[in-house]
Each structure stands twice: as C-alpha cells, then as structure tokens.
Amino acid sequence: MKRFLMGALTTLAIGVALGAAAVYSGLFDVAADRPHSRFVYHMIETARERSIDRHARDLAVPGNLADTERVRRGAGNYAAMCAECHLAPGKADSEIRMGLYPQPPDLTRHEDEGAADMAARHFWIIKHGIKASGMPAWSKGGIEDEAVWDIVAFIQKMPTLSAEQYVALVESSEGHSHGGLSPAEDRHVDSAHIPSAGNEDSHEHAHAASHEH
C-alpha cells in the first residue's frame, strides 16, 4: 500500500511539474486561432458547464418571460449587446464571431434543454459573464436584473422569428437600456446590429476604402 501511495504521489508531482513547465516556458499556446487539445478543451468545457449549472440552479425564473412587452424590450438590448457574437435572424455570421475561440453559440437556434433551466443559465451568463471567453459580465456596465430577464425573454422567442419580424421587434423597442424601465433619454437603437430584412447578412465583405483589412 505504501509503495502504491508513493507511486501515485510521484506521478502527481511529475504531472504538476510538467504542467508548470508548459505554463512558464510559454509552450502553452494562447492564440485564438490555435484550438486547444481535445483534453484541455474538455477540461475547460466541463469546468465551465458545471460552474454555470451550480450557480444558476437556484435562480428564481420569472413566470412571465413569454410576455410580449418583455420580449419587445429585450429585442433592443439583444441587438445592441449580443447580436454581433450570437447572431440574429437574417445574420449568418460576423467577423468578430469568426475570430473568437471558443466560438459563441448561435442563439437563433432552438436549444434542447428545458426552458426554465436555459432561462436561468442565460440570465447568469449575461449578468456575470464567463472568464477568458470573450463573454462580458454585463452587470459591470450597470445593466439591471430586469433588463437581463428581458433579454432572456427575447432569446427564448428569437428562434421562432423571421428576419423581418426581428427587425420589426428591434425597431419597436426602446433600444439599448440598462434597466427594464429606464428613462427614454438613456435609450438608443444601434442600427449597425440590425440586419436589413431579407438580407442574409447585412455586413458584406467588400474590401472597400471604408473597410480595409
């Protein structure tokens, strides 16, 4: 038994030493265009998913997320804060999304998990963000919980929307607002994140003088 424990401790020590050597030597590649190894990706993904589940499980999900007013208010914030990375009806992809690793999920698609579970997860992620992923903690910018729930309500509705319906909802909203019912002067609609109805992607990759790489 003693020999087994010594062997296990030695193996652990070697593993820690090799890990430290990889970190401090700069061998661990942090470039966003170089994917993690399958093992590293699995470890990070597992830690992320378990953490979100643990922190979101006890959230009280409002019972009125299907309310049309919630959905309408959430549309403006989604267009301003989320669409560039998580897409929108009529928006096939974006330059920033293609360059992020891991790539943000496409929220225009239906999700398999239960609605209440996904609502709680979305709320927690939007409010608190995810470290080293490009997902910001929007609460740090001053957005209030009610406004976050409005975005969650819109996300639940979005997979059923056409591009035309999406544009109409965004244009009927109060635009970008930090609170569910904040003053009108604090609101604005960012038209740059609203795709033209019927246009698969409003950002064309024409390398004109106004947009050179």
Q: Does residue 129 form part of some domain?
A: yes
pLDDT over 70 at 129, yes or no: yes
Q: Does residue 64 form part of some domain?
A: yes
pLDDT over 90 at 27, yes or no: no
Question: DSSP secondary-structure letter at 188?
Answer: B
CA separation for the pair 147, 188 (Å, rounded): 14
Q: Does residue 125 form part of some domain?
A: yes
Please report the pLDDT score of residue 1 as a whole number.
Answer: 76
2 confidence band (pLDDT: 50, 70, 90): confident
Q: Does residue 68 form part of some domain?
A: yes
Range of the domain at 184: 53-193
Whose structure tokens read 């830690």? 47
Give this prediction's pTM.
0.79
The string of pLDDT tens digits covering residues 160-178 is: 999 999 999 999 998 888 7
The string of pLDDT tens digits covering residues 135-156 is: 999 999 999 999 999 999 999 9
The string of pLDDT tens digits covering residues 68-90 is: 999 999 999 999 999 999 999 99
Number of domains comprising the chain: 1
Q: Does residue 17 form part of some domain?
A: no
Nearest one of 46, 52, 202 to 135, comparing CA atoms: 52
